[in-house]
Amino acid sequence: MLINVITGNFVNFAGTCRILGARSVVSLPPNEPPTNLNPDSNDLKELQAEIQRIHGECLEIPCVVGGKEIYTGNTGYQMAPYNHSLKIAKYHMASEEVIKEAIHSAMAARRDWERTPLEHRAAIFQKVADLITGKYRIPSLAVTMVGQAKTAFEADIDCVQEIADFYRFGIHYAKELQDGVELHQTKGVINQLKYRGLEGFVAAISPFNFTAIGGNLAGTPAIVGNVVLWKPALTTMLASYLVYRIFQEAGVPDGVVNFIPSSGKTFGDVITASPHLAGINFTGSVETFRYIWRKVAENIDIYRTFPRLIGECGGKNFHFLHESADIDTVVNCTIRAAYGYSGQKCSACSRIYVPESKWAKVKELLIQKHKELKMGSPEDYDTFVSAVIDEKSYKNIKEYIDYAKDSSDLSIIAGGKCDDRYFIQEAADILKDAAGNFYINDKSTGSVVGQQPFGGARLSGTNDKAGSSHYILRWVSPQSVKETVVPIDDYKYPHQS
């Protein structure tokens, strides 16, 4: 869950904070800048042409196991959410046998990949980031806009800026780990801490709402030497497959990342039944993550290692207002957080707590701004809200609206003093355990890699902070190495002489 507290205190902090140790400090990479989508830009013209190309093509997408394309014949279609007559991809679903073959392929690739020097693995994923932000910048935008009904602005944040940042920052944090932790050394002994990839395969189960999440779940564990089975969401198949093809073009070896379109249950049942399961990297619903966790628990005796379960499940995020809050800031941040990408973000604002003394003004301005929101196709660059991803999501939203209509306690509509940040400190203390991310005077959405590592606490997830060094640590297995460099000339201890 992500909580945002809005007050009247605005304090700007500038500068760079570095943790200094015995080793030299390497600067963090810069965040990827946005695409130029101004009305007269060449990028926008190319984007419009690429979208039209997608309209005229329904790409056939296979399973890819060990570099081999597998067309199973059990197919489904990805539709544009805002145009249900537009088929943009035909994908082949993996059977149990295909998933088992992918496990075998991953395990066959594991030894060489884990022993590949980090510098070589990093160079490959640096190339992935460069291809996404260069050669495939416009195609990435187009498939994400059409396939997930994202506006150009929302798509650019996702499938260009954030996904590139995940790889570049992941590489940076992995190299920091490789530099090692300074351990106490004693006479005649060399102590080291080394990091290995996990012993087994990682299953990456990605959601529909962010192309970048799929790329991160499948790619970041591979940077530090893991092999991966990637099950993308069926409603984001086109964008996920483009990312996978970029992996291939950049030089990710066959079998290191296997592309497995599948039903959730089939994939979950097969991977949790394998003794080689080393970790599950998941973003999705609480119910699905609980199901996966139960399956792992049922099979705990068969595994070679204890699998690591990394989950991001979203949350009921809220904005919490103090009486000192600036009303324009409150309303504009809430509109952006609640309606950006139609509210289909893990961090989207779904609740707002307003002091009674401020409610009349907040309500009035919310209704006014709500009327201004333009709903339509993401291909129209004035659109703020487009279609939700599929019929299931539509029905889920409608159920909430119907519940509100039928409730006597609810209606549908279109405090105190503080001392130099005292309220912020008090609120932060009270809400300390309630959220994985806590923002002050800002909207709840929009975390940036390397700036606000993202992860939900409580039932929102395992709070592993994607886009941080903490996240990288979850995908390595530390090994403490002691090397004695002087001979031991007696079995007796000194006091026994």
Residues of the chain with pLDDT under 70: 1-26, 414-419, 421-428, 430-435, 438, 442-444, 446, 450, 454, 457-459, 464, 467-469, 477-480, 482-493, 495-497
Residue 363: predicted pLDDT: 92
**CA 424 to each of CA 306, 333, 455: distance values in angstroms, whole numbers, following the listed order:** 40, 18, 21
What is the rounded CA–CA span in Å between residue 365 and residue 361?
Answer: 6
Is residue 193 within 8 A of residue 183, CB to CB? The reply is yes
Angle in degrees, CA 479, 174, 218, rounded to 5: 100
Residue 469: predicted pLDDT: 67
What single-letter amino acid sits at 361?
A: K
Q: Which two tokens stand for residue 446?
A: 């929009």
Q: Which two tokens stand for residue 347?
A: 């961090």
What's the pTM value of the predicted model, to 2 decimals? 0.81
Is residue 88 within 8 A of residue 81, CB to CB? The reply is no
Instruction: Give backbone dihedrals phi and psi of 166, rounded to 5 degrees, phi first.
Output: -55, -45
Domains and CATH numbers, the chain: 42-313+461-481 (3.40.605.10), 317-430 (3.40.309.10)
Known catalytic membership, residue 97:
no
**87-121 burial code (b ≥16 CB/10 A, e <16):** ebbebbbbbeebbbbbbbbbeebbeebbeeebeeb
Q: Write the DSSP string, 366-380.
A: HHHHHHH--BS-TTS
**CA 36 to each of CA 46, 68, 78, 292, 328: distance values in angstroms, whole numbers, following the listed order:** 11, 37, 28, 41, 28
Residue 308: predicted pLDDT: 94
What is the rounded CA–CA span in Å between residue 454 and residue 448?
Answer: 8
What is the rounded CA–CA span in Å between residue 150 and residue 143?
Answer: 10
Q: How far is CA 320 from the centre of its chain?
A: 25
Q: Write the DSSP string, 289-352.
A: HHHHHHHHHHTGGG-SS--EEEEE----EEEEE-TT--HHHHHHHHHHHHHGGGG-STT-EEEE
Q: What is the pLDDT of residues 306-327, one digit of tens each?
A: 999 998 887 788 888 888 888 9
What is the rounded CA–CA span in Å between residue 111 and residue 226?
Answer: 9
From the list 114, 312, 399, 426, the catalytic residue is 312
What is the rounded CA–CA span in Å between residue 169 and residue 449?
Answer: 7
Residue 186: predicted pLDDT: 83
Angle in degrees, CA 184, 185, 190, rounded to 5: 125
